[in-house]
Structure 1
Amino acid sequence: MPQSSQFRKLHQPGNPFILANAWDIGSARMLEAMGAKAVATSSAALAFVKGRADLGDLSREDAVAHADELNKAVEVPLSGDFENGFGPTTDDVVHTIQAAGAIGIAGCGIEDMDLPNTHPYAFERAVERIEAAAHAARALPYDFVLTARADGVMHGKYDLDEAIRRLQAFHKAGADVLFAPMPGSMQNVARICREVDGPVNAICAGPFTQNTVAQFAHAGAARISLGSSLARITHRAIFDAATAMFGTGDLSLLGKSISGVEIEKLIKR
């Protein structure tokens, strides 16, 4: 599967590409048409589409079916946001990697949180789960890019030193890309990139949206993912327009839309 090999080659420390997280076929095709070199799902954005809460409210079947739909809709590589592998055991993680392989996506991410709680797995267990995921990924009949996530800093459950310790261990366990979301500052992103072997993913969300691709590159990132940032922009547009029209009767924000013809040019095959 050439897309998966292409996906691996995109990961160049200091020369990051944007992994564009989409939430439906239209958004995926629009991002691809506008220059995305790879697309990813977003568990939060998919949860919002389904009217559910983020963090542990999706099933493996939900996430895999969604990734399959988007993967078939675009020609660039697609990576799945598969939360913690949809279960606490190594068998759960292996089943998730095998399901990802069955639909032929280029890679996926596995995090170290015991969802739906935001408590991290103990260090040894977290490493065992990534090791099992890596073995399952290497057993697939094509090159699969496994991203290992240390989410404890984002949830305030452990510090940056522990995140780096986990990422280092995840790399030794066989992970291809390392990711500690929302580490607090660009200086911390740079520290992760310096101290962790292997390509590092950085997320552009919250305060990190004030940085540029060049700044992420200077920090040493190999990939910039968007998480649910784009989906939340669309929800902001709905919120602002609905607040105005249902509150004061102001309909002017509806005039800021893009034409249907322009959208169709981007999403039609």
Structure 2
Amino acid sequence: MSFEEMHKQNNPLLMCNVWDVPSAKSAEKMKFEAIGTSSAAMAAILGYSDGEEMSFLELERIVKQIKAHTVLPLSVDLESGYSQNPVEIAEHIKQLYTIGVVGVNLEDSVVLKNRKLVDASQFSRVILEIKKRLKKDNISVFLNIRTDTFLLKCPNTIEETKKRIQLYEDAGADGIFIPCIEKEEDVSSIVRSTRLPVNVMCMPNLSDFETLKMLGVKRISMGNFLFDEMYTNYEKMIALIKAQKSFKSIF
């Protein structure tokens, strides 16, 4: 089954988000269908904040290592493309494709001092140019376009989200990713507004997977939440070792 076909199944595609070789191997061991990188987690292991502080070369190096150690389909969180130039973004995607990457996330916000949405019409033209260049080179990569309307709590969130989705759909997006959406009525409304598979992300008030399936969601991501929880538990463990002056708590 192709990565694109995985987004057309009855059950939503549950993506295990990874950041290094061990996390990718764990996902494969647990029999996930596909994996996707978490940009925030990958940045954190290198000492960066999320928002393209790490370089594309650093990202590419980690992706190469991950892909060399797993047979699972791999999608890469490319943030806003590591460029504002669609030609350069397309080249980045081509480089990832040569590694074996089958999909990328591209987001419609940029981080300068703070994260902000870019102009939707301009971003749709970026998508169109990227798709044209990939098609010219006969490269098939699933473009999962992320809109940060809910993440940034923009005014008239539902209406703005639908407007952006329509523009991105018309430009050739293969999927739509909406981080931070939680309410069932919002999810349902968005799903009904597009023909594209809709991707939601782990959130405190997000419905269970069966409910998301009923709402029409086709892809579910974990984001960096598992990564953060793992290191919270690590801190608790080393604090206990220090307090007890013993390693017995880990055995």
Question: Could you tell me the TM-score, scaled by structure 2's length?
Answer: 0.90
Q: Which amino acid aligns with 2:145?
A: A
Q: Report matched runs for 1:58-207 at 5 Å.
A: 58-116=54-112, 117-158=114-155, 159-207=157-205
Counting matched residue pairs gives: 249
In the aligned structure 2, how far is the partner of 1:254 from the partner of 1:99?
A: 45
- Per the TM alignment, residue 118 of structure 1 is displaced from its structure 2 partner at its CA by 0.9
Describe the shift of the 1:233–1:251 C-alpha distance in structure 2 as closer, same or farther (beyond 3 A): farther
Describe the shift of the 1:156–1:253 C-alpha distance in structure 2 as closer, same or farther (beyond 3 A): farther
In the aligned structure 2, how far is the partner of 1:92 from the partner of 1:221?
A: 31
Runs of at least 5 residues in structure 1 that lack an aligned partner in the other structure: 258-269
Q: Is the 8 A contact 1:177 1:200 kept in 2?
A: yes
- Per the TM alignment, residue 81 of structure 1 is displaced from its structure 2 partner at its CA by 0.4
3-state DSSP class of the match of 1:109? Answer: strand
- Per the TM alignment, residue 213 of structure 1 is displaced from its structure 2 partner at its CA by 1.4
Q: Is the 8 A contact 1:13 1:220 kept in 2?
A: no
3-state DSSP class of the match of 2:187? Answer: helix
Q: Is the 8 A contact 1:22 1:40 kept in 2?
A: yes
Q: Which amino acid aligns with 1:153?
A: F
Q: Is the 8 A contact 1:97 1:136 kept in 2?
A: no
- Per the TM alignment, residue 241 of structure 1 is displaced from its structure 2 partner at its CA by 2.2
In the aligned structure 2, how far is the partner of 1:206 from the partner of 1:253?
A: 33
Looking at secondary structure, tell me which structure has more strand per residue: 2
Q: Is the 8 A contact 2:145 2:176 kept in 1?
A: yes
Describe the shift of the 1:140–1:226 C-alpha distance in structure 2 as closer, same or farther (beyond 3 A): farther
Aligned to 1:45: 41
Q: Is the 8 A contact 1:193 1:221 kept in 2?
A: yes
In the aligned structure 2, how far is the partner of 1:199 from the partner of 1:49?
A: 31
Report the more deviating stretch, 136-145 or 28-37. Answer: 136-145
Q: Is the 8 A contact 1:200 1:223 kept in 2?
A: yes
Runs of at least 5 residues in structure 2 that lack an aligned partner in the other structure: none
In the aligned structure 1, how far is the partner of 2:184 from the partner of 2:169?
A: 22
Question: Could you tell me the TM-score, scaled by structure 1's length?
Answer: 0.85
3-state DSSP class of the match of 1:236? Answer: helix
Q: Which amino acid aligns with 1:26?
A: P
After superposition, the C-alpha distances for 1:97-118 in whole angstroms (9 at most, x for unaligned) are 2222222211101001122431
Describe the shift of the 1:202–1:251 C-alpha distance in structure 2 as closer, same or farther (beyond 3 A): farther
Aligned to 2:7: 11
Name which structure has the greater RCO, CA cutoff 8 Å, separation 6+: 1
Q: Is the 8 A contact 1:201 1:221 kept in 2?
A: yes
Q: Which amino acid aligns with 2:116?
A: H
- Per the TM alignment, residue 12 of structure 1 is displaced from its structure 2 partner at its CA by 2.1
In the aligned structure 2, how far is the partner of 1:17 from the partner of 1:165?
A: 25
Aligned to 1:28: 24
Describe the shift of the 1:111–1:119 C-alpha distance in structure 2 as closer, same or farther (beyond 3 A): same
Report the more deviating stretch, 128-137 or 169-178. Answer: 128-137
3-state DSSP class of the match of 1:96? Answer: helix
Report the more deviating stretch, 133-142 or 38-47. Answer: 133-142
3-state DSSP class of the match of 1:114? Answer: strand
